[in-house]
Protein backbone atom coordinates (compact mmCIF):
# COMPACT_ATOMS: atom_id res chain seq x y z
CA UNK A 1 0.00 0.00 0.00
CA UNK A 2 1.05 3.61 -0.42
CA UNK A 3 0.38 5.80 2.62
CA UNK A 4 0.11 9.57 2.48
CA UNK A 5 -0.48 11.57 5.68
CA UNK A 6 -1.84 15.05 4.94
CA UNK A 7 -1.94 18.05 7.26
CA UNK A 8 -3.95 21.20 6.44
CA UNK A 9 -1.01 22.95 4.78
CA UNK A 10 1.50 20.25 3.84
CA UNK A 11 2.19 16.58 3.27
CA UNK A 12 3.47 15.15 6.57
CA UNK A 13 4.57 11.74 5.27
CA UNK A 14 4.57 9.72 2.06
CA UNK A 15 5.49 6.07 2.43
CA UNK A 16 5.51 3.41 -0.27
CA UNK A 17 5.17 -0.34 0.21
CA UNK A 18 3.38 -0.23 3.57
CA UNK A 19 2.47 -3.74 4.70
CA UNK A 20 -0.05 -2.85 7.44
CA UNK A 21 -1.72 0.12 9.11
CA UNK A 22 -3.49 0.31 12.48
CA UNK A 23 -5.66 3.37 13.19
CA UNK A 24 -7.99 4.48 15.98
CA UNK A 25 -11.59 5.52 15.42
CA UNK A 26 -14.18 6.67 17.97
CA UNK A 27 -15.46 3.05 17.96
CA UNK A 28 -12.04 1.44 18.49
CA UNK A 29 -8.90 0.49 16.60
CA UNK A 30 -8.85 -1.35 13.27
CA UNK A 31 -6.20 -2.64 10.92
CA UNK A 32 -5.64 -2.36 7.19
CA UNK A 33 -3.84 -4.94 5.10
CA UNK A 34 -3.08 -4.55 1.37
CA UNK A 35 -6.00 -6.69 0.14
CA UNK A 36 -8.66 -5.15 2.39
CA UNK A 37 -11.70 -3.67 0.66
CA UNK A 38 -11.84 0.07 0.12
CA UNK A 39 -13.12 2.02 3.10
CA UNK A 40 -13.49 5.40 4.78
CA UNK A 41 -13.11 5.94 8.53
CA UNK A 42 -13.30 8.92 10.88
CA UNK A 43 -10.17 8.98 13.03
CA UNK A 44 -10.09 9.84 16.72
CA UNK A 45 -7.06 11.46 18.35
CA UNK A 46 -4.66 8.61 18.99
CA UNK A 47 -1.78 6.57 17.65
CA UNK A 48 -1.56 5.52 14.01
CA UNK A 49 0.86 2.65 13.38
CA UNK A 50 2.22 1.65 10.00
CA UNK A 51 4.81 -0.91 9.00
CA UNK A 52 7.06 -1.03 5.97
CA UNK A 53 10.10 -3.08 5.03
CA UNK A 54 12.27 0.04 4.83
CA UNK A 55 11.32 1.63 8.19
CA UNK A 56 9.86 -1.20 10.25
CA UNK A 57 7.06 -0.23 12.65
CA UNK A 58 6.47 3.53 12.87
CA UNK A 59 4.21 5.38 15.34
CA UNK A 60 2.41 8.65 14.61
CA UNK A 61 0.36 10.62 17.12
CA UNK A 62 -2.53 12.03 15.08
CA UNK A 63 -5.37 14.38 15.84
CA UNK A 64 -8.88 13.69 14.59
CA UNK A 65 -9.28 13.33 10.86
CA UNK A 66 -10.27 10.97 8.06
CA UNK A 67 -8.71 7.83 6.56
CA UNK A 68 -9.59 6.82 3.00
CA UNK A 69 -8.42 3.56 1.39
CA UNK A 70 -8.92 3.19 -2.36
CA UNK A 71 -7.09 0.29 -3.95
CA UNK A 72 -3.46 0.44 -2.87
CA UNK A 73 -3.67 4.13 -1.89
CA UNK A 74 -4.32 5.12 1.74
CA UNK A 75 -4.84 8.82 2.48
CA UNK A 76 -4.92 10.05 6.06
CA UNK A 77 -5.97 13.66 6.50
CA UNK A 78 -5.54 15.02 10.05
CA UNK A 79 -5.18 18.42 11.70
CA UNK A 80 -1.91 17.59 13.49
CA UNK A 81 0.59 14.73 13.53
CA UNK A 82 3.76 13.97 15.48
CA UNK A 83 6.18 11.15 14.71
CA UNK A 84 7.94 9.34 17.51
CA UNK A 85 9.61 6.11 18.52
CA UNK A 86 8.46 5.95 22.15
CA UNK A 87 4.86 4.78 22.26
CA UNK A 88 4.31 5.93 25.85
CA UNK A 89 5.55 9.45 25.09
CA UNK A 90 3.33 9.69 22.00
CA UNK A 91 0.28 8.54 24.00
CA UNK A 92 1.02 11.25 26.59
CA UNK A 93 1.32 13.80 23.78
CA UNK A 94 -2.10 12.81 22.44
CA UNK A 95 -3.66 13.10 25.88
CA UNK A 96 -2.00 16.40 26.77
CA UNK A 97 -2.05 18.32 23.49
CA UNK A 98 -4.80 16.94 21.28
CA UNK A 99 -7.52 16.01 23.77
CA UNK A 100 -7.05 19.06 26.03
CA UNK A 101 -7.10 21.38 23.02
CA UNK A 102 -10.36 19.77 21.93
CA UNK A 103 -11.84 20.61 25.35
CA UNK A 104 -10.76 24.25 24.93
CA UNK A 105 -12.28 24.32 21.44
CA UNK A 106 -15.56 22.96 22.83
CA UNK A 107 -15.58 25.60 25.57
CA UNK A 108 -14.88 28.32 23.00
CA UNK A 109 -17.68 27.04 20.76
CA UNK A 110 -20.08 27.09 23.71
CA UNK A 111 -19.13 30.71 24.51
CA UNK A 112 -19.53 31.69 20.85
CA UNK A 113 -22.96 30.02 20.73
CA UNK A 114 -24.05 32.02 23.80
CA UNK A 115 -22.80 35.26 22.22
CA UNK A 116 -24.59 34.49 18.96
CA UNK A 117 -27.85 33.61 20.68
CA UNK A 118 -27.66 36.77 22.81
CA UNK A 119 -27.07 38.84 19.68
CA UNK A 120 -30.02 37.22 17.92
CA UNK A 121 -32.33 37.79 20.89
CA UNK A 122 -31.37 41.48 21.00
CA UNK A 123 -31.75 41.82 17.25
CA UNK A 124 -35.23 40.26 17.34
CA UNK A 125 -36.27 42.53 20.23
CA UNK A 126 -35.09 45.60 18.24
CA UNK A 127 -37.25 44.57 15.27
CA UNK A 128 -40.33 44.24 17.50
CA UNK A 129 -39.87 47.72 19.02
pLDDT the model gives residue 74: 96
pLDDT the model gives residue 107: 76
Residue 56, strand partner residues? 52
Number of structural domains (the chain) is 1
Does the pLDDT of residue 114 top 90, yes or no?
no
What is the 8-class DSSP label of residue 3? E
116 in a structural domain: no
Q: What digits encode the pLDDT tens for the residues 49-68?
A: 999 998 989 999 898 899 99
129 in a structural domain: no
Here the CATH number for the domain that contains residue 43 is 2.60.15.10
Average pLDDT, the chain: 86
pTM of the prediction? 0.72
- Where is pLDDT greater, at 102 or 18? 18
117 in a structural domain: no
109 in a structural domain: no
21 in a structural domain: yes
56 in a structural domain: yes
Q: What digits encode the pLDDT tens for the residues 69-110?
A: 999 999 999 988 988 877 877 777 777 776 666 666 777 777
87 in a structural domain: yes
114 in a structural domain: no
Query: 87 to each of 68, 90, 96, 98, 113, how far by Cα in Å?
Result: 24, 5, 14, 16, 38
**What's the domain range around 38?**
2-103
Q: What is the rounded distance in angstroms from the CA atom of residue 91 to the CA atom of residue 72?
A: 28
Burial environment of residue 12 by CB neighbours within 10 A (0 to 12, 13 to 18, 19 or more): middle
Amino acid sequence: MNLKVLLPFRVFAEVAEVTRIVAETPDGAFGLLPRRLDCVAALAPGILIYESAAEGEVYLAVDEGVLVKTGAEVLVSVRRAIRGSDLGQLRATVEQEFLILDEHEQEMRAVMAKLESGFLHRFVSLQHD
